[in-house]
Amino acid sequence: MPKFFILICLVLISLSVNAQNAVNAIKSNNQVRDTAIKRDLIDIGKTLFKITPNPKRPSTGERKIFFSALPIGANVPGGGRALITSTSAGFYTGDRNTTNISNVTFTPYWNFKSRFGLPLRSNIWLKNNSWNIQGDTRLMVYPQYTWGLGRGNEENKLLVNYKYVRFYQSALKRIQPYMYVGLGYNLDYFINIRTSGDQKLKEFTGYPDGTTESKNEFSSGVSLNLLYDTRNNSINPMPGCYLNIVLRNNPIYLGSKTNWQSLYIDARKYIPLNKKPHQQNVLALWTYAWTGLSGSIPYLNLPSIGWDPYNKSGRGTEQNRYRGKGLLYFEAEYRRDLIDNGLFGFVVFANATSVTEPEHNTFRSVHPSVGSGLRIKFNKSSNTNIAIDYGLSKGYHGFMINLGEAF
């Protein structure tokens, strides 16, 4: 592993595991926030349609589940447009003073032809945060461009078709305040990998593993997970920090075609810039390091921009644009409410990506991206925003629309 990569990993760990300095901020953050002065689209809808609460039903502040839904049209990997419907449910499994808000997101898309995706993600906090249960299940049918390993050539890309099944599940037990350790199971199944035209994936990439035309690639493994999380809302994090380390092993005896291992380290920090708890004025920092620890990793399992666990990295950069045996990523975002009631806000962000080049497996270049976005409060009880972002980088620009923040 390159010395530079080891240095970044140490920086990542030191960024997040400073628990003593975070405790005071987290105690105030974990209190139930008064949303009486806040406004969201639900409030606007009630006003427009003259809907009054039923006094026999519990008030919004007493409910334990909050839905948000957003039907949109957007670009999809490989070109073209599709109908995307994002539905998010935030809920509590226990007393919200001692239990983080859980979140389940279902974001199916369809281009009215043969391309579709059915991703279902979950992040469940059990009562009193005793356990954290994470899930990521996907069935996806789509083509996606690849530029080969390393920085690639902007004009030289290949369209790859395949079907993809993912099943990731993990359970983590709290061992200390904010600290969790657990195990997970990870399955990736790439079906009928093929390219359009005469050029083949193996010839284009020069990579031997997982690039055989019209073949399937199956990886099955277990992971050791370490989590340190002082946030109480992953949908829209407020002051706090986050560290996630995932060591994955994919042995042949569990069904993988080759033995391979990978390491993923993800660190985030949220710095409040004012003392008003009802206003958002935050500097958010995110960095992750992702590397293969052995050879014979299937090509589509190699670290790639936009293929982090929640597919949120690289805003302003086309998904899959940079791929290598190692990847480093950093992003900074400033978040601010535009008005006191929190209905509208804005963000500005910048990120940078570096992947190892195939010749010497070293980092040689940095690929930046910048952008800005508008925030519209959809549900104040779960603090869910509609996020409309525009980002650009060398050779690419585009809009992104989501429920919830990028990180």
User: What pLDDT, on the 0 to 100 scale, is given for residue 62?
Assistant: 57
Domain regions of the chain by residue span: 3-403
- The pLDDT tens digits for 143-197 are 889 999 999 888 899 999 999 999 999 999 999 999 999 999 999 999 999 997 7
- The pLDDT tens digits for 11-68 are 444 544 444 444 444 444 444 455 557 888 888 887 887 777 665 555 544 566 888 8
pTM of structure: 0.87
- The pLDDT tens digits for 363-392 are 999 999 999 999 999 888 888 899 999 999
Domain 3-403 has CATH 2.40.160.50: yes
SS3 of the chain: the string is CCHHHHHHHHHHHHHHCCHHHHHHHHHHHCCCCCCCCCCCHHHHHHHHCCCCCCCCCCCHHHCCEEEEEEEEEEECCCCCEEEEEEEEEEECCCCCCCCCCEEEEECCEECCCCCEEEEEEEEEECHHHCEEEEEEEEEEEEEEEECCCECCECCECEEEEEEEEEEEEEEEEEEECCEEEEEEEEEEEEEEEEECCCCCHHHHHCCCCCCCCCEEEEEEEEEEEEEEECCCCCCCCCCEEEEEEEEEEECHHHCCCCCEEEEEEEEEEEEECCCCCCCCEEEEEEEEEEEECCCCCCHHHCCECCCCCCCCCCCCCCCCCCECCEEEEEEEEEEEECCCCCCEEEEEEEEEEEEECCCCCCECCCEEEEEEEEEEEEECCCCEEEEEEEEEECCEEEEEEEECCCC
User: What pLDDT, on the 0 to 100 scale, is given for residue 81?
Assistant: 66
